[in-house]
A and B are shown apart, each in its own frame.
Chain A
């Protein structure tokens, strides 16, 4: 039933070309990114290494004390496989210092704080290394809002934001990412035993089939039902997209002048590049 089959050679060329062109045109030769041990950041680091040469890519693994030790081992494995620079910056001290003040904080607050802690480290590395921060959110996560605003969603350039998780798997296989990283269950690794699919309540493959038809092909609700999707599932996903839309936009600015940023003051980001 999959409608998500893509030409991996073409996709690889486009994404590698994207990183090369968009990084170099701003007069920079390096990138940095967080390497979690999961598949999304593994794919991005492979793409970056091919685009800019591994010597120009700096991957940072940022574990918290509850992170699965396997994650760091996988991050190291991936970094070694594509020969990029690799360092480990644990976030336990910073995160714990904060939650000593708020010991009752729940998992969501703690998870968001961790994601944002990592973001500050990456942007500090951006200044340290004169490197752009690469994002690693895929299209599935971005559409579902399954990410932390100003945390893992923050970046300068995101090579994989227009490909679904299913396609991330396909491209990862095509690019030779170590099998254990491809085969393991996706997890935000915020607490022990967490998996994305359990938390979301559906599988990525399932939701990607729906998202592709709903978003890319613009099928209507009756058409989706005729294609075999359950009404309740369609409604849940539609609501998730709608309710997370704020995460995909710049902060809303109160318009008072004749020319407001991003409303009637419109320029491409690549202005002058």
Chain B
């Protein structure tokens, strides 16, 4: 079905869950008042990104008052949001929740925690172990958190699991000053567009802005159609909130024009991956 989504390109405060929750609630109210069906926040919107030893301090259980409050708000508008999740066995995950009609529709724990260059996630966080598509009011979705999307298999699995909409929550730092946009922004735009095109999926990408310890997050949240075409893109380097009209017809047409997913041979893929896995086991 057609739906209206809002990409909330916010600037969370590092380690300040209650301030961030206030900001997030404000955005939710605005989006709902404007008649949007879904609002998507960036990765770790409730906590900020370079948390280091703050991870256990800002972590929330899914039954915490803060999350319960967001679940309550999802009666009026569907919400996708990133936070640090504390599990029953006291592991801490970089997680994203999809909330709808007053319930948790899906919980994704970031599988690929970047630990190289300026990233240090694996030191502080536990990694998720699954990619699962899930049903929403707007069709079947798949959820990714930032680095997850750089692994082809992640989006592929979600698409094969029937997702026709991928939502990606991101806290992507700007680096590279040679081109018109930060090098990382250009790389992401290519990635999002290519992923959409290869998998005949629409992608809703929500990235944050602001600085943490001199590192800039570049924003540029966007809605990319299943053709790979960027339909709406938010401002670079500035807070922005964009509203996108997601048309079901565009998805249907694209899947008729280039039925890559229909023709994708899961059997061959599985057989070859199985063979490779067996060879690796020795």
The reply to whether B210 and A21 contact each other, CB–CB distance below 8 Å, is: yes
Any B CB within 8 A of the CB of A22: yes
The reply to whether B54 and A18 contact each other, CB–CB distance below 8 Å, is: no
The reply to whether A268 and B52 contact each other, CB–CB distance below 8 Å, is: yes
CA distance A25 to B12 in the complex (A): 11
Task: Choose one: B14, B50, B178; the contact of A6 (CB below 8 Å).
Answer: B178
The reply to whether B13 and A273 contact each other, CB–CB distance below 8 Å, is: yes
The reply to whether A14 and B14 contact each other, CB–CB distance below 8 Å, is: no
The reply to whether A13 and B54 contact each other, CB–CB distance below 8 Å, is: no
Chain B contributes a number of interface residues (CB within 8 A of A) equal to 23
Any B CB within 8 A of the CB of A102: no
Which of A2-22 touch B at CB < 8 Å?
Answer: 5-7, 10-11, 13-14, 17-18, 21-22
Q: Is the interface of A mostly helix, strand, loop or mixed?
A: loop
With a cutoff of 8 Å between Cβ atoms, the chain A residues found around residue B213 in the complex are 268-270
Any A CB within 8 A of the CB of B177: yes
The reply to whether B211 and A7 contact each other, CB–CB distance below 8 Å, is: no
With a cutoff of 8 Å between Cβ atoms, the chain B residues found around residue A11 in the complex are 177
Any A CB within 8 A of the CB of B181: yes
Which of A221-273 touch B at CB < 8 Å?
Answer: 265-273
Closest to B51 in A: A268
The verdict on A10 contacting B53 (CB below 8 Å), with A18-B214, A21-B211, A22-B214 known, is: no
The verdict on A272 contacting B15 (CB below 8 Å), with A13-B237, A14-B237 known, is: yes
The reply to whether B178 and A5 contact each other, CB–CB distance below 8 Å, is: yes
CA distance A268 to B12 in the complex (A): 14
The reply to whether A266 and B211 contact each other, CB–CB distance below 8 Å, is: no
Distance in angstroms from A263 CB to nearest chain B CB is 11
The reply to whether A22 and B211 contact each other, CB–CB distance below 8 Å, is: yes
With a cutoff of 8 Å between Cβ atoms, the chain A residues found around residue B65 in the complex are none
With a cutoff of 8 Å between Cβ atoms, the chain A residues found around residue B212 in the complex are 268, 270
Size bracket of the A interface: 20 to 34
With a cutoff of 8 Å between Cβ atoms, the chain B residues found around residue A21 in the complex are 210-211
CA distance A239 to B216 in the complex (A): 31
CA distance A267 to B214 in the complex (A): 14
Closest to B123 in A: A266
Task: Choose one: B51, B54, B180, B210; the contact of A10 (CB below 8 Å).
Answer: B180
Closest to A9 in B: B180
The verdict on A7 contacting B50 (CB below 8 Å), with A272-B13, A273-B13 known, is: no
CA distance A235 to B210 in the complex (A): 39
The reply to whether A7 and B54 contact each other, CB–CB distance below 8 Å, is: no
With a cutoff of 8 Å between Cβ atoms, the chain A residues found around residue B182 in the complex are 10, 14
The verdict on A266 contacting B53 (CB below 8 Å), with A11-B177, A18-B211, A21-B210 known, is: yes
CA distance A135 to B77 in the complex (A): 46
CA distance A273 to B15 in the complex (A): 8
With a cutoff of 8 Å between Cβ atoms, the chain A residues found around residue B54 in the complex are 267-268, 271
The reply to whether B216 and A14 contact each other, CB–CB distance below 8 Å, is: yes
The reply to whether A6 and B177 contact each other, CB–CB distance below 8 Å, is: yes
The reply to whether A271 and B174 contact each other, CB–CB distance below 8 Å, is: no
The reply to whether A7 and B178 contact each other, CB–CB distance below 8 Å, is: yes
Distance in angstroms from A182 CB to nearest chain B CB is 20
Any A CB within 8 A of the CB of B16: yes
With a cutoff of 8 Å between Cβ atoms, the chain A residues found around residue B16 in the complex are 272
Distance in angstroms from B176 CB to nearest chain A CB is 9
Distance in angstroms from B94 CB to nearest chain A CB is 16
Any A CB within 8 A of the CB of B282: no
Task: Choose one: A17, A157, A270; the contact of B216 (CB below 8 Å).
Answer: A17
CA distance A10 to B52 in the complex (A): 29
Task: Choose one: B52, B179, B181, B210; the contact of A267 (CB below 8 Å).
Answer: B52
With a cutoff of 8 Å between Cβ atoms, the chain B residues found around residue A13 in the complex are 237
A-contact 0/1 string along B152-179, CB 8 Å cutoff: 0000000000000000000000100111
Task: Choose one: A10, A265, A272; the contact of B14 (CB below 8 Å).
Answer: A272
The reply to whether B13 and A10 contact each other, CB–CB distance below 8 Å, is: no
With A18-B211, A271-B15 already in contact, 14 other A-B pairs whose C-beta atoms are closer than 8 Å: A10-B177, A14-B182, A17-B211, A17-B216, A18-B216, A267-B52, A268-B14, A268-B54, A270-B50, A270-B211, A271-B54, A272-B13, A272-B16, A273-B14
| Contact sample, A vs B, 12 pairs, CB 8 Å cutoff | A6-B178, A10-B180, A10-B182, A11-B177, A17-B216, A25-B13, A267-B53, A268-B14, A268-B213, A269-B213, A270-B50, A273-B13
